[in-house]
């Protein structure tokens, strides 16, 4: 019975493939508009679009493949979505998509997907309110697209580059997103994978809530007001991502609000106002990350409980920690060791690589930082650094009770993924900053090795 069903399916799909036609649009071809070809096509057909500009909005209600030859442009009328997909198992590739409508409530987008099993790849979207919008849509592949938002609008009036609502089991990889409101906005959507996307020049690089079991790996978020805001979610995995130069008032590299059971591993958090921000977040593991060159490495509310930090590198941050509240249940070490702190001045008599003296995670400005964030601009001044040095030599102020009791003597070597190419020239300084941090780690390792 089982093999009989398989045979029937094979015959069905073979017949489907044999009967599929290729309809060509443009120039001297039979079809002068894409809509005319869509009307004439049957499910399973391919519509091949020749170079040119096609001034039309497309509604796809049957399973079709649209493929561009020489990057033809589908230019919308400035109302609604440029391409709306309602049928399952469609494929769109090789097109330029421009000029959606401007209705945020109506979800006007370059590509609006209301179905499952579609592939959207190799598109360039410009002057669109939302870029690619998934609405109650699952098992789609969104890859190698370049999305540019509507720069004529203020940032808060734009839509998201990739907007995902109530959609699961989707794959987003190798996309470039800029000039939108949020790079990737995810709400009520679980079990999605986001891989090797580059997001820059917008409000939030990543913004999502009420979305469990999502995986983010090898993405880059830079030059945004805020890197990532992760809220009201559990079982989120962030691995080998880069959060660089995300700055604005009260900004951060990564924010966790009311999250739990998350894994944050091998990420680079570099040159942000606040590197890591945790409020009411529980039972998460931060392991083998490099947090460097931030104004404040971590801002942690006492409502965040039972989180573990181990094998992380904290390098050249103006301040290591701002604790909001009297105490924290954060675990700064395990039996295997704690974290590397570049300002640790202890010793290792038994040469096991773990400091024999606990490392206090605070400085004398911690209270001021927590209550007057604007004062952070002064924390790297010569006067402030002199006070820090004096306080270390003659401690008179009581800090927090946060201690790494097993600090590492050498930085942890982390092969953070960093793409060799950048979408714009701005990315070159990021690579230089990253290289500087890695050289700093190497220098510290050499000095401490020589000291032995």
**Region for 395 from its dihedrals, namely left if φ exceeds 0, alpha if ψ lies in -120 to 50, beta otherwise:** beta
User: Quick check: 96 and 67 in contact, CB under 8 A?
Assistant: no
Mean pLDDT by runs of 10 across the 452 residues of the chain is 48 56 93 97 98 98 98 97 98 98 95 98 98 98 97 92 98 97 97 98 94 97 94 98 86 96 97 96 98 94 96 94 89 96 94 95 58 53 55 51 94 69 47 54 50 47
Q: How many CB atoms lie within 10 A of CB 393?
A: 6
How far apart CA 37 and CA 23 sit, in angstroms, is 6
User: Quick check: 411 and 445 in contact, CB under 8 A?
Assistant: yes
Q: According to the model, what pLDDT value does residue 247 have? A: 85
Q: According to the model, what pLDDT value does residue 265 have? A: 98
Strand-pairing partners, residue 200, are: 178, 222
Q: According to the model, what pLDDT value does residue 414 have? A: 84
Q: According to the model, what pLDDT value does residue 146 have? A: 98
User: Quick check: 313 and 334 in contact, CB under 8 A?
Assistant: no
Q: According to the model, what pLDDT value does residue 400 have? A: 59
How far apart CA 408 and CA 354 sit, in angstroms, is 5
Q: What is the pTM of this model?
A: 0.85
Q: Do strands 171-173 and 220-222 pair parallel, antiparallel, or not at all (unpaired)?
A: unpaired
Q: According to the model, what pLDDT value does residue 386 have? A: 57
DSSP H or E stretch at residue 269: strand 268-270
């Amino acid at each position: 019975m089982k093999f009989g069903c398989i045979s029937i399916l094979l015959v069905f799909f073979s017949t489907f493939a044999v009967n599929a036609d290729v309809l060509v649009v443009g120039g001297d071809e039979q079809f002068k508009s894409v809509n005319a070809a869509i009307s004439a096509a049957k499910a399973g057909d391919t519509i091949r679009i020749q170079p040119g500009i096609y001034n039309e909005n497309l509604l796809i209600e049957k399973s079709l493949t649209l493929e561009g030859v020489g990057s033809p442009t589908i230019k919308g009328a400035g109302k609604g979505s440029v391409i709306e997909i309602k049928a399952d198992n469609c494929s769109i590739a090789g097109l330029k998509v421009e000029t959606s409508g401007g209705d945020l409530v109506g979800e006007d987008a370059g590509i609006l997907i209301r179905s499952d099993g579609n592939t959207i790849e190799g598109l360039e979207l410009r002057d669109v309110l939302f870029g690619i919008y998934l609405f109650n849509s699952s098992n789609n592949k969104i890859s190698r697209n370049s999305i540019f938002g509507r720069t004529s609008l203020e940032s808060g009036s734009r839509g998201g580059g990739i907007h995902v609502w109530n959609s699961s089991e989707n794959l987003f990889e190798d996309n470039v997103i800029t000039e939108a409101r949020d790079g990737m906005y995810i709400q009520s959507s679980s079990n999605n994978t986001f891989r090797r996307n580059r997001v820059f020049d917008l409000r939030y690089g990543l913004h999502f809530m009420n979305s469990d079991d999502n995986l983010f790996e090898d993405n880059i978020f830079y030059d945004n007001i805020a890197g990532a805001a992760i809220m009201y979610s559990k079982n989120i995995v962030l691995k080998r991502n880069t959060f660089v130069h995300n700055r604005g008032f009260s900004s951060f590299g990564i924010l966790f609000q009311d999250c739990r059971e998350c894994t944050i591993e091998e990420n680079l958090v570099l040159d942000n106002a606040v590197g890591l921000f945790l409020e009411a977040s529980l039972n998460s593991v931060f392991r083998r990350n490099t947090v460097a060159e931030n104004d404040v490495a971590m801002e942690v509310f006492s409502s965040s409980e039972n989180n573990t930090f181990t094998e992380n590198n904290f390098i050249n941050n103006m301040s290591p920690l701002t604790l909001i509240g009297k105490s924290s249940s954060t675990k700064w070490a395990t039996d295997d060791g704690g974290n590397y702190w570049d300002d640790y001045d202890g010793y290792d008599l038994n040469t096991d690589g773990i400091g024999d003296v606990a490392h206090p995670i605070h400085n004398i400005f911690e209270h001021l930082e927590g209550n007057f964030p604007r004062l952070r601009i002064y924390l790297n001044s010569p006067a402030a650094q002199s006070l820090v040095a004096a306080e270390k030599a003659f401690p008179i102020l009581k800090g927090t009770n946060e201690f790494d009791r097993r600090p590492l003597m050498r930085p942890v070597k982390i092969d953070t993924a960093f793409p060799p190419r950048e979408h714009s020239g701005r990315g070159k300084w990021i690579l230089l900053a990253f290289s500087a941090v890695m050289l700093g780690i190497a220098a510290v390792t050499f000095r401490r090795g020589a000291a032995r």
